[in-house]
């Protein structure tokens, strides 16, 4: 199949593109190579993809509608997987316009591409952040998600709503998947695991927000990729509606799916897992909850299980060890 993936220089986009290429698919990658974090890391990811003869890359911004359309039209994808976005919950407090440009305008441009090319399946990366401070657990896709705590979360919720309207108006088969704290090798430097491991290797303090009382439903990146690849083959339609728990819209071929294992881990347990994997104790600096943080995330994997017959299941210690080993191997250009 032919997959057009936005954000292939990013953490998840790299892993997804590499998996599809290894399986023999064609991939067109589209990435703006923004300097939100290390370009050396992004360039190293791309270098791992260009080794595949069936991979092509376009370097341009999502906001550049003409380039985006021209690239997609020349490639004629079967599936579009839109992963590119301005990421980071905390950064949205500093630079909300970056989220407006990328996550709203950029995502609308992707919707236009899918509409004009009549693409077979459009897939969009959303986030567990849309659930806000939801007290009801686990988080189900049918739960109310109208109280985002950050502009990042609001921009992703808006993207979901825009995509639903396109699915209704233009019958674009669309799946929006909500990620839950993805981690693993080649991860982003602004994520907790990356920052904690780096600080511990450098014998620096790690900053633990919320006095360590928060919990997260961690998802190993390989499990996430498994789910995306499986879901790419299931276009939202009445014939695959899951009774009782589905989010398949009555108004168009649109579905929202959590990608999470449903096994939240306390932040202090997470830190202890890292310590065990590294064989050393962290210097802990306990801090209050940051503005925009949520106390917990907890995915219901029931719909994902019903659709693809599996859910994220990699043990945290196994995933953390894989990251630590990767970091140590690549430390020379990560610091």
14: in domain: yes
Give the CATH number for residue 16: 3.40.50.720
User: In the predicted model, is pLDDT for residue 246 greater than 70?
Assistant: yes
Q: Where are the alpha helices (DSSP H) in the chain?
A: 11-22, 39-49, 65-75, 91-94, 96-99, 107-117, 151-170, 192-201, 221-232, 267-278, 302-308, 316-334
272: in domain: no
Average pLDDT over residues 78-106: 88
Where residue 92 falls among pLDDT bands split at 50, 70, 90? confident
Angle at 158 between CA 156 and CA 159, to 5 degrees: 65
Mean pLDDT of the chain: 95
Domain range for residue 75?
A: 2-182+219-262+297-313
Average pLDDT over residues 16-38: 95
332: in domain: no
Is 152 catalytic? The answer is yes
User: In the predicted model, is pLDDT for residue 175 greater than 60?
Assistant: yes
pLDDT of residue 35: 86
193: in domain: no
Cβ contact 36:87 at 8 Å: yes
78: in domain: yes
139: in domain: yes
Coil, helix or strand for 73? helix
Residue 146, token pair as written in the block = 């109208």
Closest Cα to residue 232, out of 125, 87, 153?
Answer: 125
Residue 9, token pair as written in the block = 């220089």
Q: What is the largest CA-CA distance in the chain?
A: 56
Q: What is the DSSP letter of 45?
A: H
Report CA 247 to chain centroid distance, whole Å: 19
198: in domain: no
pLDDT in tens, 300-321: 999 999 999 999 999 999 999 9
Cβ contact 207:90 at 8 Å: no
Where residue 91 falls among pLDDT bands split at 50, 70, 90? confident
Q: How many domains does the chain have?
A: 1
In this prediction, what percent of the chain has a pLDDT beyond 70?
99
pLDDT in tens, 215-243: 999 999 999 999 999 999 999 999 999 99
pLDDT of residue 169: 98
Average pLDDT over residues 245-258: 98
User: In the predicted model, is pLDDT for residue 332 greater than 80?
Assistant: no
pLDDT of residue 334: 67
User: In the predicted model, is pLDDT for residue 335 greater than 70?
Assistant: no
pTM for this prediction: 0.96
319: in domain: no
Q: Which of 99, 152, 166, 327 is catalytic?
A: 152
């Amino acid at each position: 199949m032919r997959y057009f993936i936005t954000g292939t220089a990013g953490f998840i986009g790299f892993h997804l593109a590499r998996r599809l290429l290894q399986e023999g698919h064609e991939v067109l990658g589209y990435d703006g190579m923004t300097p939100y974090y290390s370009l050396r890391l992004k360039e190293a990811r791309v270098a791992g993809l260009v080794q595949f003869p069936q991979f092509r890359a376009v370097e341009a911004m999502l906001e550049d509608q003409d380039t985006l359309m021209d690239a997609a039209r020349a490639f004629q994808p079967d599936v579009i997987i839109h992963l590119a976005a301005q990421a980071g919950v905390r950064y949205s407090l500093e630079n909300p316009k970056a989220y407006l440009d990328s996550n709203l305008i950029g995502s609308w441009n992707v919707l236009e591409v899918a509409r004009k090319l009549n693409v077979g399946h459009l897939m969009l990366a959303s986030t567990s952040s849309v659930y806000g401070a939801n007290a009801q657990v686990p988080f189900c896709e049918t739960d109310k998600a109208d109280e985002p705590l950050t502009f990042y979360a609001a921009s992703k919720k808006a993207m979901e709503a825009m995509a639903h309207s396109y699915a209704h108006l233009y019958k674009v088969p669309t799946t929006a998947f909500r990620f839950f704290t993805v981690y693993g090798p080649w991860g982003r430097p602004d994520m907790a695991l990356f920052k904690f491991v780096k600080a511990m290797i450098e014998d620096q303090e790690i900053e633990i927000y919320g006095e360590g009382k928060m919990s997260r439903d961690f998802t190993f990146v390989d499990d996430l990729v498994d789910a995306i690849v499986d879901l790419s083959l299931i276009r939202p339609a009445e014939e695959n509606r899951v009774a009782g728990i589905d989010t398949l819209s009555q108004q168009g071929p649109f579905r929202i799916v959590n990608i999470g294992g449903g096994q939240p881990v306390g932040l202090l347990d997470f830190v202890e897992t890292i310590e065990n994997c590294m064989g050393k104790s962290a210097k802990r600096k306990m801090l209050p909850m940051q503005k925009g943080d949520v106390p917990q995330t907890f995915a219901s994997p029931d719909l994902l299980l019903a659709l693809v017959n599996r859910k994220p299941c990699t043990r945290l210690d196994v995933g953390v060890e894989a990251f630590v080993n990767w970091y140590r191997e690549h430390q020379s250009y990560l610091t």
